[in-house]
Structure 1
Amino acid sequence: MEKAQFTVQQGWPEHHRKTVAALYEQAFGQKFRLAVPNQRQRIALLAQSFKPEYALSVIDQGRLVAVAGFQTPKAGFTSGIGWQGLVDLLGYVKGAWAALVFSLFERKPSQHTMVMDGIAVAEEYRGKGLGSMLLDGIIQQAQVQGFSKVRLDVIDSNPRAKKLYLAKGFKQVKREYYPYLNWLLGFSGSSTLEYSIHPQLSQQQGANLKAKSMPQKPAMYSTYAKEYDVAIQDNIYNAHYERPSLQAMLGELAGKTVLDLGCGSGVYAEYLLTKGAKVTAIDSSSEMVALVKQKLATQLTVYQQDLASGLPEEADASYDLVICPLMLHYLQDLNPLFVDVKRVLKVGGSFVFSTHHPMVDIEASPSGNYFATEQVTEMWDTVGKPVEVSFYRRPLSALITALTDHEMVITELSEGKPSEALKTISPEHYQRLSEHPQFLFIKALA
């Protein structure tokens, strides 16, 4: 069967009610088991409680094979599970207990936010894109009904679903841990994700919005790529401050698989290779990638890609180390990249990066609000002439949260130290960088 043969529809014919209940119980019975231990009773409860007008389904050759529910302030897919129904089915004591347990999982929609009530796909139909189709349908349904957001919760024991939601553009807004309840609930944490719905835009308006929300590729790394490569070989901020500080955090490299994000002209890649690492390098600038290929083509894998969209070409658990020198401040949203960094790292692997120091960038803040993540445009003379560069400044808390939300643990944090050679080359810069750090360096464990 091909994905194109399937069609998403709203609701379902009444004779499918028990099928929907069995399908939903199969997907979410782990949550409901604590409230209603008997599987037959769980299915009966679900069957009588569902409101099909608050659901989307996929029916293949007369068989219902997938369903997704949603909630609005008016009602929802499972809103028929009420106190009286539980008492009628289970008796007063067990019904009261079930009501208490169900309240733990209750998520309220709002005037502007639709809540998704879960996706269930028949086992033999998984991997055919039905979950993705239903998710698109929920988002479309929310847009048609005038909601500005779709919210959902995903438990930590379902990473496959979370990966789908993030790939669809959902952003994690909250993470909850309750390991002490693992024995009771069957899982120890959950994430709340939200999808923001934009009003319908014309193609040109959409292009304009995208152009405004993302900094253009700086001419520094395209038009002046060769000049930049020459400049950073032995300059103050890159060669004598950033590189020695980040390299000090890398540890033993011989035999390690390393992913170099924002590889630029290949200075780090070359260093990694000399230390015996196996290197893959990625940069958003085709000009920089061309320089790396020119210098190191036979020694590593290198390709061009916009890192704002994550690492779709990289396999799970394939790297011992991921480095990202002075690149993260070009990304407005760190989540797509960080979720993939966590994914591609082996267990116990490290993510090491440098970025602008939050206390330095606040001086250039358009709003003056330290806690804002905002675009800044400056003129830099790195290549010997003024070149306009746009980047994003963010508070330290935003960096830390981006790591912890994706289950990475900070093991080292540094504000950098200039090389001893700089003391001779430029005593003034050595003293300034020793007293007023410009960059932040973080090492996190996957």
Structure 2
Amino acid sequence: MTSNPEANGAATNSVTSTQSGFELVAIRLPVVLTFAGLIAGLALGVLFSGVSLPEKALQAVSLVGTLWLRALQMTIIPLVAALLVLGLSQMVQAARAGAAARRFLALVFAVLIAGGMFTAAILPWLLTVIPIPESASGFLAAAPGEAQEVPDILDFLASLIAPNIIAAAAETSMLPLTIFFALFAVAITRLPKEQEDRMLGFFHALANVMLQIIGWVLWLAPIGVLALAFGVGLRSGGGAFAALAHYIFVVSAMGGFTLVLAYGVAWALGGINPARFAVAMLPAQAVAVSTQSSLASLPAMLDSAGRLNLRSTTSEFVLPLAVAIFRATSPAMNMAVALYVAALAGIEVTPALAFAGILVALIISVGSVSLPGSISFVVSIGPIALAMGIPIEPLVLLVAVEMIPDIMRTLANVTMNVAVVSAVDRTET
């Protein structure tokens, strides 16, 4: 390889050390209990849908769900700010590691942009072919929220830069906030080393504090989701279950694009026959499906790279870096969730809104790659929805079924990681 191995190791260690700090928080979130809370809430709602319940009782149940939703929302902006600063500074450090790292980052951005554009173009068409069940409309009233306005093109362009970043945060204007903190992160990397370390240490501590709080909130997810789902069941009846199944299929299908694209990358850029690549990837894919963790799949990915005769110097540098800062499915699947909710709400997604969503999805994906799936769902998709003027209330219920689409996320991410290694390795010959 032409890059400096010592610099490579330093960059990789810097990235993965930050990742391990995040993994310490809320690593055993009650995912199964949250899913059970969703099912139980919907079932109880369906059961009592024909019964005249006291208004006070309904208000009390709604209040429980609303308070849990607000507790989740209050952590989004500070956590996103911290993760963006850390994630983008890590990416800048990686770019300094050498030519191989820069080629890797170029592929990362190409894949992320392709995924976001594919979803923005294909998902509206898919929803016309396989329409959202009418019963899904009940999810929009899962919790009270203000009506979102869809800006025109001039308003959108004006909103890219906020004259007052504090006011933008108060108004949850995610697009200007995302741009500001992206610039802030790059500026930090230009500071003297001592000042850079001090600033990154602050944001690392801020991220872990916010993750601790959101971890506590998500431990209450079974109760909050049950309360919100009860209202959905009352409004939608048994059709709510069909709506969830439809949602899971559509979002997973967008992740399937990234999975197929991985075979194309390995073939076109890595020079590896798709059949050979598929056989070599089977062990790593099995681990990915069973663990739903790219980090846990790292040893299996290294083994698959060896089966493909990729040089160990390339795979041992690129794969840990990919696990730390690359989640290939993020823009495609996160945009899919936001666009699905937009379709539920009857919001027309203009090209300007689609561009805003892809831009935020691209930047946010850098900061959320090291988080557990349920936290990543809230942190990644909430800002996209806010930037596009899409209600975020349904997200708190959809997070309960994220454990199913997350299988596709991990499967495609792991496959793409090895495909990118093959492309980088080929350019080093």
Instruction: Select the structure of larger CA radius of gyration.
Output: 1
Q: Which of the five TM-score ranges fits, normalised by the shorter chain?
A: under 0.3
TM-score when scaled to structure 2?
0.26
Task: Flag the structure with more relative contact order, 1 or 2, with Cα contacts below 8 A and sequence separation at least 6.
Answer: 2
The structure richer in strand per residue is 1
TM-score when scaled to structure 1?
0.25
